[in-house]
């Protein structure tokens, strides 16, 4: 199999999804209204609620949801062969991820920019809301702690990435001023930002930074983890336009350039896919393809974390409701393109099948390293860029995306803590909420020692809990559609499939944790399973009530039987 075939077919499928299916969703299912007054205008505060150019917001949304996951998931999952991963990424992006991300963004915009956890209280009740918030907090905790560990490992293993990773913060601060204070042309600003970022990559490749051991009385691992959490905490408190938004935007542009380099290299080198379509020579420790494929590849197919971002930060910055199609659905398309690139890099970036099998000698042996190694080989063959510089470009891309997800995750956790306080009748300030978030996350990360291994302690549950969260988000979207008397099948089909695979995977993991006598993860698995089942039951009841009840088709508010709601109260503003 020539990798060109995978690239062309994959690109055609994913882009057709945006130009055709997303247009159908926007006009017929979600009925996006250009005149609807979004929360960014109604609740504008210059900190979290900021009307934003859709291209800038797309960059923020895309890089926040991407992280390293659309690289890691496919790079691990190809151990079952390239065909299952390819089909799940392409079909999942078009019919699952795109409608999920667009739906979560639409649902939040129609509810004053509230998170899916808070929205659930309106549609499935107080009990469902409390349990929903628990699942959201656990998923965010897994992401923040694990990504701190992953970034630390990459900064140590790829010292050439240190300068561009930290220098990108300075670039982002300047970009934010150029856009919002100096009102500079966006295209010119983008060019300046990209040139600065790639200049840093060249400098980093020339001057790698390896920290001394010890540094300030700490190991390099401890130092990097504390530095990352300090940065994320500060970023979570700054107005979104100062750092988070411009950093994510310029990273989004940088990623598409990186993907362009990778895809152009495939075009010129046309490497052969050496991995089998279906791998029948699996290592002994490899779990079954069903259901594990569908929780191993989350970002790049469908991911509950996207719903948290869409309803946590992106909905507060959406300028026009019609921008949701580009920001939400095309954000998922960007992830699909990245996941497709990861599949090609990890299946065609090796000379022989034996070389590939030596890397994939055990489950979870692939990942970012296989992506960087394979991708660098393709870029070197296709464009003649030295392997060391190619590796620096790809490693920097992976670290920058993991970092943007981490800082967004901390900001979202702050929102969850504040929302939980609101439910308990307490007003928790931003600073206090941020401290609570960091204390828990840092405590978990260092719970297994100074190297941050604790950050991966609960990571084995991320795939299943993250996909369960996606199905719960879809259930809220389905209730909203049913209340508005719109066809819910676009939400119900992925909801049933993802929920089934996630519950199946959780049950499989229960047996695994029991056999390993890992009582902590076993208990946490049970908590997540029970909480999710409870919310699912509440959502099913709400869907049945929405199907039978009478609601205003515009605002989805209940109306007395026999009367017709005008929808005028909600047609031009965020709904209460």
Tens-digit pLDDT profile for residues 145-203: 888 888 888 888 888 889 988 998 999 999 999 988 998 998 999 999 999 988 998 89
Please report the pLDDT score of residue 463 as a whole number: 83
The residues pairing with 447 across neighbouring beta strands, listed in sequence order, are: none
Is 576 buried (19+), middle (13-18) or exposed (0-12) by CB count in 10 A? exposed
Q: Record the tokens describing residue 113, joined without a space.
A: 């920019």
DSSP letter assigned to residue 51: -
pLDDT digits (tens, 9 = 90+) for 418-469: 888 887 888 888 889 999 999 999 998 998 877 888 877 877 888 888 888 8
Mean pLDDT of 212-235: 91
Residue 71 to residue 68: CA distance in whole angstroms:
5
Backbone angles phi, psi at 101, to 5 degrees: -70, -45
pLDDT digits (tens, 9 = 90+) for 470-511: 998 999 999 999 999 999 999 999 999 999 999 899 888 888
Please report the pLDDT score of residue 570 as a whole number: 44
pLDDT digits (tens, 9 = 90+) for 246-303: 888 888 888 778 888 889 999 999 999 999 999 998 988 888 999 999 999 988 899 9
Is 460 buried (19+), middle (13-18) or exposed (0-12) by CB count in 10 A? middle
Alpha carbon of residue 523 to chain centroid: 26
The residues pairing with 318 across neighbouring beta strands, listed in sequence order, are: 52
Task: Between 179 and 404, name the one with better pLDDT.
Answer: 179
Question: Hey, how many other C-beta atoms are within 10 angstroms of the C-beta on 220?
Answer: 18
End-to-end CA, the chain: 54
Please report the pLDDT score of residue 286 as a whole number: 87
Q: What angle do CA 556, 559, 564 make, to 5 degrees?
A: 90
DSSP letter assigned to residue 287: P
Task: Between 562 and 352, name the one with better pLDDT.
Answer: 352
Residue 523 to residue 507: CA distance in whole angstroms:
12
Domains of the chain: 3-447+462-548 (1.20.1740.10)
Is 184 buried (19+), middle (13-18) or exposed (0-12) by CB count in 10 A? middle
Please say whether the dihedral angle defined by the alpha carbons of residues 25, 31, 35 and 36, taken in this order, is positive or negative: negative
pLDDT digits (tens, 9 = 90+) for 503-516: 899 888 888 899 98
Helix (H, G, I), strand (E, B) or coil at 468: helix
Length of the chain, in residues: 576
pLDDT digits (tens, 9 = 90+) for 518-574: 888 898 888 888 877 887 888 888 899 888 888 877 778 887 655 554 444 444 555
Residue 466 to residue 365: CA distance in whole angstroms:
22
Please report the pLDDT score of residue 370 as a whole number: 86
**CA-based Rg of the chain, rounded to a whole angstrom?**
23
The residue assigned the tokens 């151990």 is 79
Distances (CA, A) of 325 to 29, 95, 104: 12, 14, 11
The conformational region for residue 115 under phi > 0 = left, psi -120 to 50 = alpha, else beta, is: beta
Residue 270 to residue 214: CA distance in whole angstroms:
46
Mean pLDDT of 20-47: 94
Residue pair 231/407 in contact (Cβ under 8 Å)? The answer is: yes
pLDDT digits (tens, 9 = 90+) for 370-394: 888 888 889 888 988 887 777 777 7
Reference 273, options 185, 374, 363, 182; nearest CA is 374
Question: Hey, how many other C-beta atoms are within 10 angstroms of the C-beta on 463?
Answer: 24
Distances (CA, A) of 189 to 172, 174, 327, 333: 11, 10, 20, 24
Helix (H, G, I), strand (E, B) or coil at 549: coil
> On the CB side of 512, how many CA atoms lie within 13 Å of its CA?
15
Helix (H, G, I), strand (E, B) or coil at 319: coil
Average pLDDT, the chain: 87
Residue pair 149/441 in contact (Cβ under 8 Å)? The answer is: no
Please report the pLDDT score of residue 571 as a whole number: 46
Residue 409 to residue 140: CA distance in whole angstroms:
6
Please report the pLDDT score of residue 468 as a whole number: 86
DSSP letter assigned to residue 362: S
Residue 292 to residue 460: CA distance in whole angstroms:
12
Question: Hey, how many other C-beta atoms are within 10 angstroms of the C-beta on 364?
Answer: 13
Q: Record the tokens describing residue 96, joined without a space.
A: 């699952």
């Amino acid at each position: 199999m020539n990798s060109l075939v995978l690239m062309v077919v994959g690109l055609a499928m994913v882009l057709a999804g945006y130009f055709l299916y997303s247009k159908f969703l926007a006009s017929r299912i979600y009925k996006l209204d250009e005149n609807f007054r979004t929360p960014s205008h109604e609740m504008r505060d210059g900190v979290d609620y900021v009307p934003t150019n859709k291209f800038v917001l797309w960059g923020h949304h895309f890089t926040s949801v991407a992280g390293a996951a659309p690289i890691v998931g496919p790079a691990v999952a190809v151990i079952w062969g390239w065909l299952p991963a390819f089909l799940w990424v392409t079909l999942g992006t078009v019919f699952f991820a795109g409608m999920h991300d667009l739906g979560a963004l639409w649902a939040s915009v129609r509810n004053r920019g509230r998170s899916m956890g808070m929205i659930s209280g309106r549609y499935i009740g107080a009990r469902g809301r409390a349990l929903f918030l628990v699942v959201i907090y656990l998923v965010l905790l897994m992401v923040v702690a694990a990504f701190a560990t992953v970034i630390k490992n990459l900064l140590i293993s790829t010292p050439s990435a240190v300068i561009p990773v930290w220098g990108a913060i300075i670039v982002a601060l300047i970009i934010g001023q150029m856009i919002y204070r100096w009102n500079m042309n966006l295209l010119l600003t983008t060019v300046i930002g990209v040139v600065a970022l790639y200049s840093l990559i060249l400098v980093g490749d020339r001057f790698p930074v390896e920290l001394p051991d010890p540094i300030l009385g700490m190991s390099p691992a401890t130092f990097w983890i504390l530095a990352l959490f300090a940065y994320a905490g500060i970023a979570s408190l700054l107005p979104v336009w100062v750092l988070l938004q411009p950093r994510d935007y310029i990273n989004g542009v940088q990623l598409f350039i990186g993907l362009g380099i990778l895809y152009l290299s495939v075009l010129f080198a046309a490497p052969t896919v050496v991995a089998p379509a279906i791998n029948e020579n699996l290592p002994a420790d490899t779990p079954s393809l069903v259901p594990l494929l569908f929780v191993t590849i989350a970002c790049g197919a469908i991911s509950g974390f996207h719903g948290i971002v869409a309803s946590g930060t992106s909905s507060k910055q959406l300028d026009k409701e019609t921008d949701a199609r580009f920001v939400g659905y095309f954000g998922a398309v960007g992830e699909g393109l990245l996941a497709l690139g990861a599949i090609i890099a990890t299946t065609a970036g090796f000379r022989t099948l034996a070389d590939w099998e030596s890397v994939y000698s055990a489950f979870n042996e692939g990942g970012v390293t296989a992506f960087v190694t394979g991708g660098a080989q393709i870029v070197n063959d296709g464009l003649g860029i030295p392997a060391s510089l190619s590796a620096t470009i790809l490693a920097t891309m992976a670290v920058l995306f993991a970092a943007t997800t981490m800082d967004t995750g901390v900001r979202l956790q702050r929102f969850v803590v504040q929302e939980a306080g609101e439910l308990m009748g307490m007003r928790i300030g931003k600073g206090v909420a941020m401290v609570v978030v960091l204390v828990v996350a840092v405590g978990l990360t260092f719970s297994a020692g100074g190297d941050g291994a604790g950050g991966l302690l609960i990571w084995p549950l991320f795939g299943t809990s993250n996909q369960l969260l996606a199905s719960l988000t879809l259930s809220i979207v389905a209730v909203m559609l049913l209340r508005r008397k719109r066809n819910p099948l676009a939400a119900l089909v992925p909801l049933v499939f993802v929920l089934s695979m996630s519950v199946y995977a959780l049950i499989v993991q229960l047996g695994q944790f029991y056999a390993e006598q890992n009582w902590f993860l076993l208990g946490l698995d049970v908590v997540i399973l029970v909480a999710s089942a409870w919310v699912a039951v509440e959502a099913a009841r709400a869907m049945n009530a929405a199907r039978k009840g009478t609601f205003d088709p515009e605002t989805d508010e209940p109306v007395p039987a026999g009367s017709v709601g005008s929808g005028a109260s909600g047609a031009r503003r965020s709904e209460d």
